[in-house]
């Protein structure tokens, strides 16, 4: 068994301030019935790969918190980034370390930021991704989410033809609309055949996003940030498209199983170019004949819990559209998200519409829902002890 799953939990999540802090990033917050996004993501990989093939990549400074939250994660399967260097460095590190240990490794990367349901369907679809990567040495597999609106905060995958012509032909009679796929999933193999990705489009302007949304999910999917590939294939991509990063990663991987691991990691990792895997590898690979970027559609309930409004979407609503967690009392208020993180603290609202109110013991946020993006800006102005 050469399959591995690595959870990417390196984000800082300033947009969930004041709940998230520098030393308590959003992935570690027990926001979902007492469980964190990281715990949910870790549990999702169960049965997809052997238990000791589940890895977590996160900030080295969060090591203790991550291990405490995941008692079944071996400390050896924790990849601690000495500094945040975006996804190329994080994914590259995981790829290089696993490739050095297991040249036939097929690795899946899964951001911790997502809620995905139902989990059984998720596993079936990710398994299909593993299969595609195993059967196609040149394939870089992404997972595409069916857009539920013209979001400007996500990247889009423009889909081309089927990756596997035969598989496609066999299904040609299937309906081309995504809604039908949904019905199809349990009835057939549990997956939709992988498609080639013609183009990566980073967070588009509103107009483009609307065009993509109108075009439908046979044409455009959201880039989920989940990937599967053979470690050797990805290393070859990095070598071609970002040779300096490749060299750095090989240096780190070479010292990994020696006493020099920590010193080399600390010296080299922070020098790696800070760039996303999409820009650095996926885009050029999608235009390079030596590789094929594939998208496996994932027609499931999917939520990137990257902001308070997104979190609100995970909460039950009252009949005025308020989502609330913790002790609260809402009078003539509508469309609010009210979170009290301290079980002894009550948050009351009167006549409030579309507000986010989040209370924590040392800081309270009151923010218009349509201004949630500005929490990042606020964060920078906070005194360090509140960051």
CA 168, 174, 176, 178 dihedral sign is negative
End-to-end CA distance of the chain: 42
Least distance (Å) from its own copies to the CB of residue 316? 20
Q: Which residue has the tokens 């920078």?
A: 380
CB nearer to its own copies: pick between 258 and 381: 381
**DSSP H or E run through 267:** helix 261-268
Only one of the segments 67-75, 268-276, 283-291, 354-362 lies at the binding site for its own copies (rule: CB under 8 A); that segment is 354-362
Contacts 24+ apart (CB under 8 A), 251-254: 252/93, 252/96, 252/97, 253/93, 253/96, 253/97, 253/99, 253/100, 254/100
Question: Least distance from C-beta 151 to its own copies, angstroms?
Answer: 21
Provide the 10 A C-beta neighbour count for residue 199. 14
Cβ-based neighbours of 57, under 8 Å, separated by 6 or more: 6, 7, 8, 9, 10, 78, 79, 81, 90, 91, 93, 94
Question: Measured from the CB of residue 206, what is the shortest distance to its own copies in angstroms?
Answer: 20
The answer to the question of residue 271 lying near its own copies (CB under 8 A) is no
Verify binding: residue 352, its own copies, rule CB under 8 A: yes
Q: Which window, 136-144, 205-213, 238-246, 363-371, contacts its own copies (CB under 8 A)?
A: 363-371
- For residues 259, 264, 265, 271, the Cα torsion angle rounded to the nearest 10 degrees is 180
Per CB under 8 A, the segment of 79-87, 115-123, 279-287, 364-372 that binds its own copies is 364-372
User: Is position 329 an interface residue for its own copies (rule: CB under 8 A)?
Assistant: yes
Q: Rule CB under 8 A: say whether 377 interacts with its own copies.
A: yes
User: Of 50-58, 113-121, 265-273, 325-333, which segment contacts its own copies by CB under 8 A?
Assistant: 325-333
Q: Which two tokens stand for residue 385?
A: 């002890």
Question: In this complex, which beta carbon is closest to its own copies, that of residue 266 or of residue 363?
Answer: 363
* Single residue of 109, 319, 346, 387 touching its own copies by CB under 8 A: 346
Check binding of 345 to its own copies (CB under 8 A): yes
Identify the residue among 23, 46, 207, 370 touching its own copies (CB under 8 A).
370
What residues from 9 to 38 belong to the interface with its own copies (CB under 8 A)?
A: 18
Considering only 32, 310, 378, 387, the residue that binds its own copies (CB under 8 A) is 378
371 binds its own copies (CB under 8 A): yes
Q: Interface with its own copies includes 318 (CB under 8 A)?
A: no
Q: How many residues bind its own copies (CB under 8 A)?
A: 36
d(CA 115, CA 35): 12
Place of tokens 């870790």: 42
> Which lies closer to its own copies via its Cβ, residue 70 or residue 375?
375
- Give 267-272's long-range contacts (Cβ < 8 A, gap of 24+): 269/81, 269/82, 269/83, 269/85, 269/89, 269/93, 270/82, 270/83, 270/85, 272/85, 272/88, 272/89, 272/92, 272/245, 272/248
Which residue's structure tokens are 């498609």? 195
**Binding of residue 340 to its own copies (CB under 8 A):** yes
Q: Which of 71, 316, 351, 384 binds its own copies (CB under 8 A)?
A: 351
Q: How far is the CB of 29 from its own copies (least distance, A)?
A: 18
Residue where the block lists tokens 């679809």: 125
| Residues of the shown chain interacting with its own copies in the complex, contacts defined by CB under 8 A | 18, 329, 331-332, 340, 344-352, 355, 357, 359, 361-368, 370-372, 374-375, 377-378, 381-383, 386
């Amino acid at each position: 068994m050469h399959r591995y799953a690595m959870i990417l939990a390196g984000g800082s999540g300033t947009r969930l301030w004041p709940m998230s802090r520098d030393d308590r990033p959003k992935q570690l917050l027990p926001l979902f019935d007492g469980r964190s996004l990281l715990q949910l993501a870790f549990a999702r990989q169960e049965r997809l790969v052997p238990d000791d093939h589940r890895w977590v990549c996160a900030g080295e400074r969060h090591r203790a918190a991550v291990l405490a939250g995941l008692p079944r994660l071996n400390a050896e399967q924790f990849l601690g980034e000495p500094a945040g260097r975006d996804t190329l460095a994080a994914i590259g590190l995981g790829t290089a370390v696993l490739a050095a240990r297991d040249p036939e490794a097929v690795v899946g990367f899964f951001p911790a930021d997502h809620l995905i349901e139902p989990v059984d369907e998720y596993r079936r679809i990710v398994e299909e991704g593993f299969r595609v990567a195993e059967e196609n040495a040149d394939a870089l597999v992404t997972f595409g989410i069916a857009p539920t609106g013209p979001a400007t905060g996500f990247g889009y995958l423009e889909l081309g033809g089927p990756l596997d012509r035969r598989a496609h032909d066999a299904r040609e009679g299937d309906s081309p609309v995504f809604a039908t796929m949904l019905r199809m999933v349990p009835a057939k193999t549990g997956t939709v055949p992988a498609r080639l990705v013609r183009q990566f489009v980073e967070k588009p302007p509103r107009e483009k996003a609307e065009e993509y949304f109108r075009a439908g999910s046979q044409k455009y999917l959201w880039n989920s940030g989940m990937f599967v590939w053979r470690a050797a294939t990805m290393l070859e991509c990095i070598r071609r498209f970002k040779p300096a990063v490749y060299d750095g990663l090989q240096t780190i991987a070479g010292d990994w199983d020696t006493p020099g691991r920590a010193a080399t990691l600390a010296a080299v990792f922070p020098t790696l170019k800070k760039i996303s895997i999409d820009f650095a590898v996926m885009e050029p690979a999608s235009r390079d004949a030596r590789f094929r970027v594939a998208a496996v559609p994932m027609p499931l309930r999917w939520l990137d819990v990257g902001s308070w409004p997104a979190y609100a979407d995970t909460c039950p609503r009252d009949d005025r559209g308020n989502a609330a967690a913790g002790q609260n009392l809402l009078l003539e208020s509508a469309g609010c998200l009210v979170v009290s993180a301290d079980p002894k603290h009550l948050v009351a609202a009167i006549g409030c519409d579309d507000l986010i109110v989040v209370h924590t013991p040392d800081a309270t946020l009151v923010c218009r829902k349509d201004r949630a993006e500005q929490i990042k800006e606020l964060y920078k102005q906070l005194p360090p002890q509140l960051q």
